Structure 1
Amino acid sequence: MIYLLDANVFIQAKNLHYGLDFCPAFWEWLLENHAAGKVASIDKVGDEIAAGGDELTDWVRDHGDGMFLKTDAAVAAQFGAVSTWITGQQYEPAAINTFLQVADFYLIAHALARGQTVVTHEVPANSAKRIKIPNVCSGLNLRFTTPYEMLRREQAKFVLGKKP
């Protein structure tokens, strides 16, 4: 299974759960699993993170080579399927316009193009004002999961080493 990470996975990890300063094992796990072909994200997510101008931006610049997949013809071929599903729902026009311009739209298209599992902190919601990734994944029969479920499924272990 290949996991495709939403921006909120990186951002919440840095801000809330796995700070770069106190839980480097999480970030090493991401790099190791990316190298093994199991974890990736997309260029638009990388762009969102780069706009932050903080230590996460530095981490992406220093370690993100290849992790943020480019939007190619196979991905672009899925834009129609994603936009058709979204416009066929009961979302407000402003919600649709916003979704079609943000990384979430591209993330879904990437996952559709390659059969990847989307990883996000978002939860499904019945709201006409905001389109949530899990709702779109369900509507398009895409797998999605939380970061915690991904870590458990992949048996990640962040264990302290012995002190000298």
Structure 2
Amino acid sequence: MKSGDASVFVVDASVWISAHQVRYPSDVFPTLWSHLKSSAEAGRIRCPRQVVHELGSNKSGVAAWVRNLKQLVIKETAPVQRRAGEILSEYNNLLHGATHDAADPWLIAYAEAAGWVVVTEEKMSQNVAKPKIPNICSDLGIECIDTVAMLRRLGLRL
């Protein structure tokens, strides 16, 4: 962990899904989820409403957990909305057939605008025609890390 690291992390749906369903289920790692909640309440972890939309409308599980943390969800701004559209135009294969409300360009636009760190479980794509979040972050000079790196930087120790 960086000493005095005050980074803000903008988190992709892949992080929440992987953490909750595979790596760190809340019934086994309640301390982790408590720490994530505290970090969100302190403004250290954020996500666009599009991430909440991608998680679905389940009344239980990680979708409900994320929806219930009002401080977690970022309010849209006109400059970020414009930038998300520009990113989508520039990297027109980013969504791979998903809807235009998908979160990827929004994550990147918020991180770029605010100097935040993108957190995703996606890996760099070797296929230039199908870029992933880390490819675009690299192109734009935006820091992009995975879940474990975020947890370290938040200072979590179980």
Q: TM-score range by the shorter chain?
A: 0.7 to 0.9
- Per-residue CA deviations over 1:26-77 (Å, capped at 9, x if unaligned) read 2111111122221111111011113355422232243x11201122113113
- Per-residue CA deviations over 1:13-36 (Å, capped at 9, x if unaligned) read 111111121111121111111222
Q: Secondary structure at the match of 1:157?
A: coil
Distance 1:83 1:38 in 2: 26
Q: How many Å apart are 1:7 and its aligned residue?
A: 0.4
- Per-residue CA deviations over 1:119-141 (Å, capped at 9, x if unaligned) read 01111012245330000100111
Conserved 8 A contact 2:8-2:44: yes
2:13 aligned with 1:7: yes
Conserved 8 A contact 1:43-1:68: yes
Conserved 8 A contact 2:85-2:105: no
TM-score scaled by length of structure 1: 0.81
Residue equivalent to 2:81 = 76
Q: How does 1:133-148 map to 2 (within 5 A)?
A: 133-148=133-148
Please tell me the root mean square deviation across aligned C-alpha atoms, in Å: 2.3
Distance 1:51 1:32 in 2: 23
Higher relative contact order (CA 8 A, sep 6+): 2
Distance 1:84 1:32 in 2: 36
Unaligned runs of 5+ in 1: 159-164
Unaligned runs of 5+ in 2: 1-6
TM-score scaled by length of structure 2: 0.83
Conserved 8 A contact 1:20-1:27: yes
Specify the code of the residue in structure 2 equivalent to 1:103: A
Runs of 4+ in 1 over 4 A off after TM superposition: none
Q: How many Å apart are 1:152 and its aligned residue?
A: 1.5
- Per-residue CA deviations over 1:58-99 (Å, capped at 9, x if unaligned) read 32243x112011221131132354235425xxx59x83x647
Q: Secondary structure at the match of 2:47?
A: strand
Q: Kindly tell me: are residues 52 and 60 of structure 1, through their superposed partners in 2, closer, same or farther at Cα, counting changes over 3 Å?
A: same
Residue equivalent to 1:46 = 52
Specify the code of the residue in structure 1 equivalent to 2:146: T
